[in-house]
Amino acid sequence: MVHAAKSMLAQVARPEAAWITRLEAPSPSEGAGAGALAGLRFAVKDNIDVAGVPTSAACPAFARTAPAHAHVVQRLVNAGAQVAGKTNLDQFACGLNGTRSPYGAVPNAFDARYVSGGSSSGSAYVVATGEVDFALGTDTAGSGRVPAGLNNIVGLKPSKGLISTHGVVPAAQSVDCVSIFARDVQTAVRVLQAAVGFDAQDPYSRKLALDERPFAPGFRFGVPTQLAFFGDQMAEAAFDEAIERMASLGGVRVPIDYAPLAEAASLLYDSALVAERYAAVREFFDAHEDEVIEPVRGILAAGRGYTAADYALAQTQLRALAQQAAPMWDGIDLLLLPTAPTHYTVQAMQADPVVLNRNLGAYTNFVNLLDYAALSVPSSLRPDGLPFGVTLVGPCASDLRLAQLGQRFHHATGLPQGATGLPLPQPEPIVPAAAAEVAQVVRVAVVGAHLSGMPLNGQLVERGARLIEATRTAAEYRLFALPGTVPPKPGLVRVPQGEGAAIELEVWEMPMAHYGSFVALIGAPLGIGTLVLESGATVQGFVCEALATQGATDITHLGGWRRYVQERTAS
């Protein structure tokens, strides 16, 4: 049985199998929210932690209640989004079809006889049917793309390390990504920009400078010379149509040799690399193997049979294939691929779960192994009413470039949003969150009297500023209560490494035209400088002259100005 907490969502026709846990609606005051994602609700794949809710990875014996949000969930909540609940998946994120769960198979949003795609099946379904605004999935071999392609929605598979996987049950940790499902590209990008942030708790997290250049007319898109649709003529015709649409947007088709990409993809399951899937849950699996369903059990068990030398050899083979594939990018700007080559019924998939599952990943498995970015967008509805999607693949850090082109492609289709029947919203420019000059805004961090609800917050609001996120500084600052300031204000001072702590703050975005008048209001000993956030990013923010802290009360241990004000008021 699916855990059935009281739904915060409208009661619409849907299979309970899509959900693991649904959360109660917050009260209007609790749900007001502020930030870049204010007003949006999202679902979380049940291998990603949500505080106070069990994380089962679709294995009841594995379930444990998460003590805190996963890093990515916390960032989205900080940006104003509300968690709607946890969604079903192929057990331990091992599968691309959505039928490998003890909670039931998640059907396709357009025809319940067909698979939804996996492993992020429930997340894709609740986005496609309009129950949430976006959802988090994970993607190791295509789990953030195949369900998008089969359900007429967008699946954004970011560059590895761009979004932290801390608080995510690993599938194959070195290639895992948190993915984003939405009904349009612009929403997916908003979520990406809120989710991005370096996290030292994730051993594979990294800081990437995203390429923001739009594709110029005459851009070259690679199409494999060897394409397989497994006898599905409607899918083949739909891909031909997609190629013509990409050409109509100014692209030039370039044939590419798919062989090295296909060979790299085969290593994920047919080499010692599968040992990483076993390693991810080894302690649980060795003690509770009988609690794991087939064929997941057989896949994980296969990882036991490889030696460290086997794994090292497989990694070397992968690097050799990466070198072989690299020259491809000299002749193209991106790849255009079918997201999934065909649709399968639930009945057919359950009768032949390994081969048909592998077929669904024919154009996805290589992407993370070779460190590429990818975006799946809807392309058409076939004559049988089932969706067909395509994936744009680019080099690492090309995420925003793919989004710009993917949005143009998606809107050129004239398709509705998912399975809702609603038209796509008007497209918005895809701009980097940090490119303040492009958007003519500036971001400023506040730590004291300008925080939400504090006496000077109106100085921000009256200048049209909006709250982007609540976060903390890097652990290299000290905070002081400055004597004699009206209203009371703190002073933030950067100190040598090891002598400071992380201090709570808010990041606000203000129109550049009003920034000068805001800064003019700031009097000594305060000023504006560059602050380092816990994510590693930098932002303009309030700083204090060190001399002014002599004799001031050090309140660093409280972690922020709000706590100090609360304790002072209580006393």
Q: Which positions are catalytic?
A: 45, 119, 143
What is the rounded distance in angstroms from the CA atom of residue 37 to the CA atom of residue 84?
14
- Exposed, middle or buried by CB within 10 Å (0-12, 13-18, 19+), for 312? exposed
Strand order across the beta sheet in which 466-472 lies:
466-472, 504-511, 441-446, 538-544, 526-532
Element (DSSP H or E) covering residue 299? helix 296-302
Number of H helices, E strands in the chain: 18, 21
What is the rounded distance in angstroms from the CA atom of residue 307 to the CA atom of residue 334?
36
What is the rounded distance in angstroms from the CA atom of residue 151 to the CA atom of residue 143?
13
Long-range contacts, 558-562 (Cβ 8 Å, 24+)? 558/479, 559/472, 559/501, 559/502, 559/503, 559/504, 560/447, 560/472, 560/479, 560/503, 560/504, 560/505, 561/447, 561/448, 561/449, 561/451, 561/454, 561/479, 561/490, 561/504, 562/451, 562/504
- Exposed, middle or buried by CB within 10 Å (0-12, 13-18, 19+), for 530? exposed
